[in-house]
Chains A and B, each alone.
Chain A
């Protein structure tokens, strides 16, 4: 178990550019979550997947944001036409079930991708 990994760890971009982040969850976890954390605040929910299905999207997720989890394993979060207000830490988390099907509520977080939009 190598934990949740995210790539890149840091990204600096210019306003108007597109960026894409990747998250690799813990291998047996079927749920994957994206959160955004700005300085001095708690993480805010963006969206989550169960396997490849996107089950919920926050109103924070404008139409410039899109997330995918095409094969139910890794996920990508793309931000188009970035704005300075998009600067934040983007966190990914995963959770799963026991082999007997019991839901495990604990979400395990990756190290995050810090985005700076100039």
Chain B
């Protein structure tokens, strides 16, 4: 079956540090890939997505590139802020079928 493997957390960084959260997937075919974010006390929100190989999704300074050859969709940000503290989930789907999520990575940014 399809699966998503995420870098285990928690991750703690200082403000303005560079962020990478690794995500790899296993799937038959070429799914769409997503990063969702869950801020404290809030629901899941879509952060960014990519629907085909070599696409780059970006939002709020975050970026991720769909790499078919390495089946990866790593999340990056050049300079994190305290407000980026949240849990980040990598996910995949085919069309608008069900989402398959990773286990999530808790990110804490220290001022």
Using CB atoms and an 8 Å cutoff, list the residues of chain A in contact with chain B.
31, 33, 35, 40-45, 48, 56, 58, 91, 93, 95, 103-112
Asked whether B98 lies within 8 Å of A56 as measured between CB atoms, the reply is: yes
Using CB atoms and an 8 Å cutoff, list the residues of chain B in contact with chain A.
4, 6, 32, 34, 36, 42-46, 49, 51, 89, 91, 93, 95-104
Asked whether B45 lies within 8 Å of A43 as measured between CB atoms, the reply is: no
> Within the complex, what minimum Cβ distance (angstroms) separates B50 from chain A?
11
Query: Complex formed: what's the CA distance from A54 to B99 in Å?
Result: 16
Asked whether A31 lies within 8 Å of B96 as measured between CB atoms, the reply is: yes
Name B's interface SS: strand
The chain B residue with its CB closest to the CB of A34 is: B98
> Within the complex, what minimum Cβ distance (angstroms) separates A78 from chain B?
20
The chain B residue with its CB closest to the CB of A43 is: B101
Chain A residues lying within 8 Å of B49, measured Cβ to Cβ, are: 105-106
Asked whether B45 lies within 8 Å of A109 as measured between CB atoms, the reply is: yes
> Within the complex, what minimum Cβ distance (angstroms) separates A82 from chain B?
23
Query: Complex formed: what's the CA distance from A111 to B93 in Å?
Result: 21
